Structure 1
């Protein structure tokens, strides 16, 4: 099947609420030198989609400034970082062996070459993303997962959530036999953290509540802490010797409450601020116990390679909460913002809604 000249895409022309998401007919992008063209099968939603749309990231020295992931956006911008699909064309110098292969795209834009480069941009923010029928990506960021038994929906959930989780675990140097605390345990990153930490042989304490507790336990958590109750007291009850590593996407008051629970040489890894970005804690609990607070933004190329190995062997089982056609992207983002689901929400750009809206 040939590549059409136009495609459907969902993009934003300004920051705002779900109403700024618009479905449009746009030209199919041509792969530049070193790039491939991917026909998108599924694209997963992330909190970064909401915050990029809202401009909620702030800037150094101006935390209230409207900004994308790493600065002002170039509008219009097609959202969507997490793409699974099939390569249909290759630009000059790109790996033509990828054409026809089922792939997952590493959405990070890195600051350097090499396996330990830092992400400084993100597909769907600093370049157009996968809320579309087609997307381009650098050939070296496209990973062949043709043989993976995971579905396209499951594969699409991996890049940001599982990549962020694996980056946190690697930077936190989590080892078998250690005790780990996972916040935001029912979210996409939280479920990923539980699954990967459990696979590494760690004992997992997960913070959750209400109807989501069973799903969090099913993901592999050994103990569930109720976020509506005294967290520090529950940690003491569940792990009297303390925790070795905290994997935290909530921050806010949780840092002050939980930091004293770290064992000597413990590591508190932060990769989100769902509970607020203003944090106050007793710094004596840091230096007197040789503890570390570590920031973790996504993953390195080496981390992503490890993740793709896990995907090929299906050693992780992503949870897909719901799937929507592309033209219901606004509804899907609203569902994500309500945080009533467990796992990940995906869009299927090849599907159309029953009403044909946006087609």
Structure 2
């Protein structure tokens, strides 16, 4: 276990704003595991929308962003070490945790129900309500550090936690089963590309909405049909043509998503990259008996199931690019340009 006087390198978020609010430092104190915790030496961390959204206070719905800018709708505590995707090795354990865990390679469950040895009244999210993965070391409750046995590199494994667990949670909430026709918006991004693989693993038929230049790659990933995101869904598919919508986009064309659903269709949402405000004709909702599922906090068992899918090679990582942690601004710029499929990963320590 590192001495408490040792320092680590990492990136801290100083406040809400642009990339200049991210500061790379090599004088950060190494966190110490408390009751129920494990200390993890980080190998790699994925880049996600949530990192940028949190920095920009995008989650805030008030005029005072400092009042509700976290995932949980509460103020953030600065300086903050962000990073919701984490892969690394357990180096030390706190009171009440078996020393047998030391040396395990783990993935951190992004949605936390325990911290500081206590059950949380409301879930936290790693790198939002507490320090996360963008540093040499991190701590988390032992129950949220899942052992992973895989031949994949830690960089590859770091592409899974947030995006794939979000996608798996959406499919779980929407009760996706074999034979369902599932429409995935934003299908080339981290969550969208994960949803394609995970829905296919369930035996579903997948329609993927993406830009023309990415359609061939998504077909190779498993999409049964790809749709141009600039085209009208109703003109292309027809009304009442899909069983489930997995939506990460929202925006102006949102009413078409509900029109595309069959009677008793299920709509699950975990993002709004095209805009969070939409127009709902309530008659469509109730006359078609549509079920809505907002998907943020993970249901019990979702992350453990994801780990099993990784270990059995039922899904594969999609790492588009790798950056060293100190180049986080370049990584986030590449992320926002969206000229890739899958995930961008930050390498924190060599393995």
Q: TM-score range by the shorter chain?
A: over 0.9
Partner in structure 2 of residue 309 of structure 1: 308
Q: How does 1:33-44 map to 2 (within 5 A)?
A: 33-44=35-46
Partner in structure 1 of residue 208 of structure 2: 206
Residues in 1 aligned to 2:297 and 2:310: alpha-carbon distance in whole angstroms = 17
Q: How does 1:287-306 map to 2 (within 5 A)?
A: 287-306=286-305
Partner in structure 2 of residue 357 of structure 1: none
| Structure 1: 5+ residue stretches without partners | 352-359
1:39-71 Cα shifts (integer Å, max 9, x gaps): 111100110000011111014xx2773512222
Residues in 2 aligned to 1:343 and 1:86: alpha-carbon distance in whole angstroms = 24
Specify the SS of the correspondent of 2:285: helix
| TM-fit CA distance, 1:241 | 5.6
The answer to whether the aligner puts 1:14 opposite 2:27 as a matched pair is: no
Q: How does 1:243-262 map to 2 (within 5 A)?
A: 243-262=242-261
Residues in 1 aligned to 2:200 and 2:132: alpha-carbon distance in whole angstroms = 31
| TM-fit CA distance, 1:298 | 4.4
Residues in 2 aligned to 1:314 and 1:150: alpha-carbon distance in whole angstroms = 10
Taking a change above 3 Å as real, the CA distance of residues 177 and 196 of structure 1, as seen in their structure-2 partners, is same
Q: How does 1:243-282 map to 2 (within 5 A)?
A: 243-282=242-281
Partner in structure 2 of residue 142 of structure 1: 145
Check the 8 A contact 2:240/2:259 in 1, yes or no. Answer: no
Partner in structure 2 of residue 85 of structure 1: 88
Partner in structure 1 of residue 108 of structure 2: 105
Specify the SS of the correspondent of 1:82: coil
Check the 8 A contact 1:108/1:119 in 2, yes or no. Answer: no
1:119-174 Cα shifts (integer Å, max 9, x gaps): 732111100011011111100111111x2122211211111100100000000001
1:82-128 Cα shifts (integer Å, max 9, x gaps): 1001111111112322111111111212289xxxx997321111000
1:189-246 Cα shifts (integer Å, max 9, x gaps): 000000000111111000001321122112110000001111221122xxx7610000
Specify the SS of the correspondent of 1:217: helix
Check the 8 A contact 1:56/1:68 in 2, yes or no. Answer: no
Residues in 1 aligned to 2:13 and 2:168: alpha-carbon distance in whole angstroms = 30
Specify the SS of the correspondent of 2:259: helix
Alignment size in residue pairs: 340
Residues in 2 aligned to 1:215 and 1:49: alpha-carbon distance in whole angstroms = 26
Residues in 1 aligned to 2:249 and 2:64: alpha-carbon distance in whole angstroms = 19
| TM-fit CA distance, 1:255 | 2.3
Taking a change above 3 Å as real, the CA distance of residues 280 and 125 of structure 1, as seen in their structure-2 partners, is same
1:240-271 Cα shifts (integer Å, max 9, x gaps): 76100000010122321121111110011111
Residues in 2 aligned to 1:299 and 1:331: alpha-carbon distance in whole angstroms = 30
Taking a change above 3 Å as real, the CA distance of residues 118 and 220 of structure 1, as seen in their structure-2 partners, is farther
Residues in 2 aligned to 1:177 and 1:73: alpha-carbon distance in whole angstroms = 43
Specify the SS of the correspondent of 2:243: strand
TM-score by length of 2: 0.93
